[in-house]
Every structure is written in C-alpha cells, then in structure tokens.
Structure 1
C-alpha cells in the first residue's frame, strides 16, 4: 500500500494542528575508559628509558607460617626492644639499630627477661670476642665497670691499657698472689658491728669459703672419680676455718687465713678441733680426713703453688673502668690448672663484690668458662652460685664458650654435674649465638629450644660474616650484625699470633 492510501501517522497529524512530539534522544556515544594496568613483558618494555633487561630478575622464595607473616607487605618487622643501653649494630629484620640493655630489660615488665646474665656461644673466629668487648666498651658510657675474672688468652690486655689500666698477670714466678679465702669488704668495721649483723656477715663469708673448698677438693680425682666432699668434710673445714680466723673464740677482730694454713691445721689438728669435730682421737681424725688433706696438699704443692696460697699482693682500684686478671701464663699447665685458677678467682671476685655500693654496676666477664665446669659437680655448683647472685649484686655475668654442649663436658651423661650445667642455661635469659657448623644444629634445637628458622640463622646466615649473631632476649629472637668503629677493630683484634706466623 502506498503512503497516500495509508493516511497520516500520529506525529504528522499532530504537526498539522501545531503540536510536535518530542524527538527521541540519540544514544550517548560510548567512551572507552583508560586501563588501570597494562601488560609489560617480564624483562620490561623494549624502549629507551623503560628499563629493559636482557635477563629476568630472580624470584626470592620465602617459607613462613601465618604467625610469622601476618601481613604480606612490606615484610618489615618493627624493633621490639627500646633504644636504651649499648648500640651494638643493626637489627637486620627491621633495618634499625639494635640496643643491648640487660638490666633495663629486667626492669621492663614488657620484656620477658628476669635476670641480666649473658651466655655467648660461637665457633672460633665468628666474632664472639669482638662482640663481648664492644658490649663492655659501650656500656662503660652508662656507668658500668668491667671485671674480667680470668683472661686465659690475654685478649683483654689491649682494652685495659686503652683506659690506662695495667692488667694483673698471674703465673709461675710472678709477684701477683690472690688469696681466695680473703674476707673482702665484709671485714670492714667488724669490731663495731652488733652481734646479729656480725653473725649474718660470718654466714656469708663461711658459705663462700665452703663453696670454694668444696670445688677445689672436688676437682681432684681418684682414677675416674672425683674426691668426695660430704657433710663430714664440711664440718671439719668449717671448724678449722673458725679457729684459724678466731671466729670460734669470739674474737672481735678476725684474722685472714690462707689455704696452706687450712691444710696445716688439718694436718696437725689441735685437741680442741678433734673434740669439736666429734672424733675419738687424733688417729681417727687423720684417717678420716686423709683424702681431704691430700686434695688440699695438691693445691699447696702442685702446679698452682705460689699463686693462690698466700695473702693477696695486689691492690685493685675498683673505681677504674676495667680490671683484668690474665692467666695465659698458666696455659702450659693444662686446662685443669686453668679451671682451678678460675674457681679461685671466682670466689675472690665474689667476695670483693659482696658489699658493692648502690649503683656500682659491673660486667663480670668469664671467658673460657667451660674449663671451670670440667672440674666436676662442685665447681659447677660454684659457678651456679655466681649466676644466681647476679640479681642481688646488680652485676651482669657474661660467660663465653664455644658451643652449648660445652656445658655437658662437666661430667658423664646423666650425672649430677651435667644436670646442674644444663640448668645454668636457664640462669641466663640472654643468649648470643654466633655462627656454628651444621653439626651443632641439633644441640641448638635440643638444648636451647630453637626452632628450624632460628637454627638456620645460626648455622647459615651467621656463618656468612663475622659479627653476625642471633640474640635471644627472653622468648624473642633478633638477627643482629655487630658494627665496630675502626678504633674498636684494633682493640678487639685477636688474630695477632696467626697474622705473625703467616
């Protein structure tokens, strides 16, 4: 049908009467949005200035658990310790500085540290000595003083002379004498003390002496067994010391005694001593104390004769920033002689610190401590007592050894000495673990409770550079790279002998 026969449509009809329908709006033109992400080749865009590389970048693979990676970016841990104390180096995980403040950590309830003692383990050449000396040197700026109780390799002599302090050398033919039975500061003003205070001081002194004699006697051997030191021997020694010092007679002024005088008193006992020790006669006394007297005789006449058998001949300046007792002259006598010397020095040093003034904080360095532990259970108990007293004295006991299993060399497997030595690790809430061989990985996990990641830090990362260590502060671990100043590098260098022979 044509348009003429169809007629007009609605829009034409309305237009004839002056009404126009609104036009249909045209659809809007589609606008293409910009792309947020553009594909780029793995090696970059091959255009000038676009960073194209001929080889693709390596991909790092990280293995961790959900508690170790709560977020995926930026993989940076915040410093978990306050910036107080000695600035030791770089906290690798956070990129910030790492500060060590053992006493401050004890006082901070937010840090799980209950004692300031430190154990430092590491393979020789991994930076143990340098880290120890750097810690001591930097803590001096905060009022700490350093006491090196026995320096078997004379590693601290340069540090002493840097501060104008001449270290004391102990050895055969030298004039230095140390009396481990010294009263120390507790003897001062004894005459004016009330009876109860005098008794309290006497209890401290005699307990220290008994611990020493027990350790010295127990270091002697009968075949593969240590000389026993039981309640009978303790009663005899305490009674003899009471007579030699005048305490048993109620003297207002006590007299200092020595190990040779103790041995002589037991070798030629008085009737009063025999009666007080509840023996029927001199013959029974001498028979029952033969092992005790022979063990003391070895200390008086043996390899260490002339070292710890007389009154102290040195006057220690306790206000100096550092004091050290060098023992390298005893190395030819063997590890056992060095261990006995360390036991004597520990007792003497403990006595010197029994009345330290408030605020007189000191870092007590115990290098090659494993040599003392090998003397037997009594020597281990003496070392144990020193660690337990650190909280009351305010001292930081800093023990250095090669590896945790050195503690197990205190005796046979399952023995009392080994059990006590294992517990020593729990008396130090701070452990510095330098690089170790893979063979030590198992004992790191069993003895220290390290997980696989922390164990790999010690056996892998820490072995790739000197001064790297895993700092275990309570239940938190930190990867730390110790950074030394050029002056400190000279003071902490310990390879002079190797360098001279090369």
Structure 2
C-alpha cells in the first residue's frame, strides 16, 4: 500500500513562490534559574562518584512507641510550653529556656494540666531544696507569696531572713502557739450574716475541724492498729464542737474553742450533748466513747501539749513575701510528733486561706510530707482535702518527698490508705522528678507510668548533677536542668552541719 503524501500548507506554498507571511513577535525567553535540587533515579545518577548502585536498598517497616521514637529521631522534642512564669533553667531537649507557670498552665487549653499542685521527688542531695526555693523566689516577681507550712529542718530560715522575715519557731516551752480550731476569716462578721450564709460558713468550718480531729485521733495507736474513727464518733465530735462554739444554741457571735476544751467536754458531757448524740444515758455515752476520749486525752497531754492546745499567739503578716513555721524543735519527739504538727498546721493554714481575695496568689510548701501521710488513713484524708481545695482557692500546693513509695507506706498493700495515697499523685498534675537510684527506677515507672527512656533519665542523667530533673507537666515530660544564681545557691545550701563536722 502506497504512502499518501501530505500536501503543502499555505505558509509553504507562499514560501515556494518567494513570499513570506509576517510572523507574530515572540516574547524574550526568561533566563533559567539555577536548580537547587534535581531529580535522581532510585539507584542514583549513573556517573562516576554519584553513588549509583546496581540494586536498590531493601525497605523494611518498623513499629515503635512514642518513648522509643526519640532513639531514631532524637531531635523531636515535647511541644514547648508558653514562656510565662518563672524561668527555671534550660530545657535540654529543645535547647531553650524552661518556664514554670502552674496556674497559667491550668488556664491554657493547649497544656494538659487541670490543677496547679506540684509533687517533687528526689534522692537527698539531688537539689530538691534548691529547686523549691528557686521556684518560690522567682514566682514572687509575678505576685506570688510563699507559706512554708511546717519546716522540720529549718531549711527555709535563710531564705526568710534574706527577705526580711523572721520565721515562727514552734516547740515545747516556746511562746508561739497555733490553734488549729481557729475560725479564720470565715468567723468574721458573723452577726451580720443571713441564715443561708451562716449555714454555709458553718458547714465549711465544722467540716474542716472534723477532718482535723479525724486525722489526729486516727494517728493514735491501739497496739499496732490505728484508732478507728467511725460515723458515731463523727456525730459526737460535731455536736460537741457546735455546743462549744454556741452554734447549737443559736448564738449570734460564735466562740473560739480548742482541742483540750473538746476533750474536756467529752470527758464531762452535758445532758444536752448526751441527748443530741442519741445515747440513752451518760453511762452509755462514757462506755461507747472511751476510745475516742482516750485518744484525744493522749494528744492533749502529749504531742499537742504547749503547741496546739490554746489560742493562737502569733500575728502573721499575710502581705509579707514569705512566712515560715519552723518545727525543728520537735525533731527529738519523733516523726509522729512532727507529722501531727504538720496535720495541725495544714488545717490551720487552710482555714486562714478560706476567704482569700482574688489575686492573692500563694505557694504553700509542704516539706517532709511523708511524715504526715504515715500517720494513717485519716491523716492521708486530711492531706487529700488540702490538695483538692487548691483548684478553688488558687493556691499552689508544693509537696516535697523523697520518692513516690513514701506515699504507700501509710498502710498495708491494698488498704484504703494506700488507695487514697495513690490518688494523691493524680491530684498533682505537675511532678518534678530529680535524680534517684536505679532501685527506684521500677517504682517510678510503675506508679507514675513513665516509660523506660524517662526512667533512665531520672536514674542516669538526673544523678550526674544537682538540679537535673524530669518535669512531668501533665503527660508531657521535659528534661530540665535548673540553673541557680550564686545568691540562690547560697540560700539553698543545706550541708552546713556536714561542713562543720569536716
């Protein structure tokens, strides 16, 4: 089959007879920009020195958890926090500054924090005191004041004196006394309150006192067991307190009472109290409240004597940058006495802050908190109540302990006290984990849900320098090295006794 020959178009025909059609002007060509990247074949460019391979590299799929991923992508860090609050040190993963702002984190939707409470754990000598004092001192620039709610070792006295404040020393034979059954601000202006507001305040005050008495009674022992505090004891104590203050009689001005007065009334009950508690006779009242009365009597003549058995004798300047209640004079009395004092101070400080004005921001430091928690289930409940109220009062509860298992030493495995103590960890969304021995690593991973990389940071990197800590802000971990100013380092130094011995 012959190939059909195509004819000439108009342009070619005119060209053959010597005519040229006018051309449309073409725009000038743009200069080509240099290319930064050029496509390369899978096996590379087939030239000398261009990495060409006769076969492609095998591709394999891998699965890993989020705590394993940094091993392959080490520069992927936790999402950064807002640059608000106190600048604590260097974020080792991002290389930037690390800022701590607990209340600001609660208000920020992008930060997984629902309460501003802080738990700080660390082996002695790893920088717990330095980190705590630096946080308190630097947050003062943002309007925060600090209350040291019990200083068992006088660690905060140099900081107080540097700020022009003299700590209150509490001990046997000293003039400073604190009444844990003080009304606090809720007792002011009682005569001008309407019935509804008076009932609301009474419920708060008597509830706080009942929590305190429950914790104090539960701290006593019958052999190896703690003294029980049941619903009947609760009714007796509540009615006795209402009678002592005049609330049961409908008085317009309530009277302040004390724990010795409560014990004295229970030991010498009135007919009105016996009837209100639904006992058939005074003899039945004595028989069924013997354990309660003996526990209170032991406290009045023992751990509370000369300390918390009378009206408050100190005047606290709540406008000062810091206030501290020193308990070092109680150390010879044992850990239980210090724990009972911490329980009383916790209840008293909560009462003083129940009507805090908006913007009155305060950091409440609870050092050696494990001594209070080891007093039994009721003492744990009292500590639990303080943490739960922080979200509504605006205070930041800063609890300091050695390791998370200190919270579990309150009772037998599986007991109610241990269950409540575990829940305490969830009432503090911010945890500062300083250096720990390797033996504590498994405990950290089990109780706090840390992965192996975070655990190794605490037991490895955290032990290589003071102030190194893993800050757990909600579920986000941050590898932070606290940097102290020389003046802060001097105020945070706690090895004076060792220096003297050397």
**TM-score, length basis structure 1:** 0.86
- What residue number does 1:98 align with? 98
Alignment of 1:3-402 (within 5 A): 65=64, 67=66, 69=69, 75=75, 77=77, 80-402=80-402
Gaps (5+ residues) in structure 1? Answer: 1-32, 38-62
Do 1:79 and 1:94's aligned partners in 2 also have CA atoms closer than 8 Å?
no
In the comparison of the two structures, how many residue pairs are matched?
446
Deviations 1:123-151 (A, max 9, x none): 00000010000000000000001011100
Cα distance in 1 for partners of 2:74, 2:342 equals: 50
Deviations 1:320-370 (A, max 9, x none): 110010000000000000000000000000000000000101100000000
Gaps (5+ residues) in structure 2? Answer: 1-46, 52-61
Cα distance in 1 for partners of 2:483, 2:142 equals: 19
Q: CA deviation at 1:298?
A: 1.1
Q: CA deviation at 1:279?
A: 1.1
* Pair 1:246–1:486, CA change in 2 (3 A): same
Q: Which moved more, 1:301-310 or 1:422-431?
A: 301-310
- The CA RMSD measured in Å over matched residues stands at 1.8
Q: CA deviation at 1:73?
A: 7.7
Deviations 1:454-489 (A, max 9, x none): 000000000011100000001100100000001101
Cα distance in 1 for partners of 2:70, 2:134 equals: 35
Do 1:92 and 1:480's aligned partners in 2 also have CA atoms closer than 8 Å?
yes
- What residue number does 1:9 align with? none
Cα distance in 2 for partners of 1:385, 1:318 equals: 22
* Pair 1:245–1:98, CA change in 2 (3 A): same
* Pair 1:64–1:75, CA change in 2 (3 A): farther
3-state SS of paired residue (1:380): helix
Q: CA deviation at 1:69?
A: 4.8
Do 2:366 and 2:398's aligned partners in 1 also have CA atoms closer than 8 Å?
yes
Confirm whether residue 490 of structure 1 aligns to residue 493 of structure 2. Answer: no
* Pair 1:66–1:354, CA change in 2 (3 A): closer
Deviations 1:67-110 (A, max 9, x none): 56589788263761111000000000111100000000000011
Cα distance in 1 for partners of 2:70, 2:305 equals: 63
Do 1:79 and 1:96's aligned partners in 2 also have CA atoms closer than 8 Å?
no
Cα distance in 2 for partners of 1:70, 1:198 equals: 58
Do 2:78 and 2:477's aligned partners in 1 also have CA atoms closer than 8 Å?
no
Cα distance in 1 for partners of 2:63, 2:365 equals: 37
3-state SS of paired residue (1:424): helix
3-state SS of paired residue (2:311): coil
Cα distance in 2 for partners of 1:449, 1:188 equals: 46
Largest Rg, 1 or 2: 1
Q: CA deviation at 1:304?
A: 3.2
3-state SS of paired residue (2:134): helix
Cα distance in 1 for partners of 2:70, 2:304 equals: 60
Q: CA deviation at 1:168?
A: 0.3
Q: CA deviation at 1:447?
A: 0.3
Confirm whether residue 433 of structure 1 aligns to residue 436 of structure 2. Answer: no
Do 1:339 and 1:372's aligned partners in 2 also have CA atoms closer than 8 Å?
yes
3-state SS of paired residue (2:346): helix
* Pair 1:73–1:399, CA change in 2 (3 A): closer
Confirm whether residue 471 of structure 1 aligns to residue 471 of structure 2. Answer: yes
* Pair 1:442–1:255, CA change in 2 (3 A): same
Cα distance in 2 for partners of 1:220, 1:71 equals: 52
Alignment of 1:395-434 (within 5 A): 395-434=395-434
* Pair 1:239–1:96, CA change in 2 (3 A): same
Deviations 1:253-301 (A, max 9, x none): 0000000100000111111111111111111111111111111111110
Cα distance in 2 for partners of 1:353, 1:64 equals: 51
* Pair 1:70–1:419, CA change in 2 (3 A): closer
3-state SS of paired residue (1:365): strand
Runs of 4+ in 1 over 3 A off after TM superposition: 33-37, 63-74, 76-79
Cα distance in 2 for partners of 1:79, 1:415 equals: 38
Cα distance in 2 for partners of 1:279, 1:318 equals: 45
**TM-score, length basis structure 2:** 0.86
Cα distance in 1 for partners of 2:474, 2:81 equals: 11
